[in-house]
Each structure stands twice: as C-alpha cells, then as structure tokens.
Amino acid sequence: MEIKQSQIDSLIDDVAYLEHEAEALKYVIDTVPYDKAPKGGKSVAEILHFIDHAQQQYYRRVIEDTFRNNRPINLNSYTKPDESYERDEELIKDIQKLLYKISKHRVALLNLVKNLQLIDWEREISEGRQTLTLYEFTNNMVQEERKTLKKIAELVMTFRETNSPETESENSKTSA
C-alpha cells in the first residue's frame, strides 16, 4: 500500500480531533450527569477515561515502538486496552481534570505523529497472520475513537433531552 502525504495530513487532522473534542466537552460536560451510567452501560466519564487509557497504554506505545524498531512489531505482545483497563475513581469523579489529561496526552501523541516521515507510516505491524502499516493501525485507532465519541455525544444528548425544561413540564403534566 502506497501512502500519500495527503492521507497523512488527513490522518493528523483526525488525531487532533479528540483534543478538540475534549476541549469542547469542558464547557458542556457539567450540564449532564457524566458520572451516571445508563442501565448496562458506562458513564461518560468512564468512557472518556477508557479512551485516555487506550491512547496512553496501547496506541501510543505501539506507535512509538513501531517507529523505534527496525523490525516489524507484533501486536500480540501488547496487552489490549480492554484487558488492562482499571478504573481510577478519583479521576473519573474529577471530569475537568480527566478532560485536561486527555487534551495533554493527545497533544503529545499529535506531536509524535506529526514528526513521523512519510516512509515511517509504511512500517509494518503484525497481529497474528495479518499485517498492517503504521498508517492503517493509527487510522483504525481514529475510527474506534470516533465511534466512542459518537456514543458519548448520544449519551450527552439523551441526558440533556431527559433533563430539558420541556421534558420536565411534560412529565409534570403526565403525573398530574
């Protein structure tokens, strides 16, 4: 797979997206019960904490190791984020601190990928019998994060709709 500079530029913009999302969330997050989990699900704070964990403990390590090593690395030698995740109750309760950490960590990751040369993006990563490039690996990370951020947006919208004045007045009419 030949990777073009325009693809890298687009990917870098996508990597920057989470940092912008974290910044934007700082202003609206306190209007929703971010620490409340829907039945059978995870809270907004837990989801954000997991994104930060995955970025720091898995994706960033793989990207750094791929860049540093001359030989292909094997993803099977890394613990997947969902297998290594541990809740940090203190951080989950302090949503502003969590969002700050996500932003800070994303800026560091962004600087890392910005400094990679075009040829570095073609380095190979193996997972079992499958081989992918560093570009494909990073793009997969971005796609997973977008899905996760969509879940967060849906949760925020659900919380806002159920707590909006219209809903409250409709509920009071129904219960009267």
Neighbouring residues of 111: CB distance < 8 A, sequence distance ≥ 6:
none
Query: What are the pLDDT digits (tens) for 23-50?
Result: 888 888 888 888 888 888 888 999 999 9
Query: CATH number of the domain at 20-163, please?
Result: 1.20.120.450
The radius of gyration of the chain's CA atoms, rounded to the nearest angstrom, is 19
Please report, for the chain, the start and end positions of each structural domain, with discontinuous segments joined by +: 20-163
CB 16 within 8 A of CB 110: yes
Interval 119-140: pLDDT, tens: 999 999 999 899 999 999 999 9
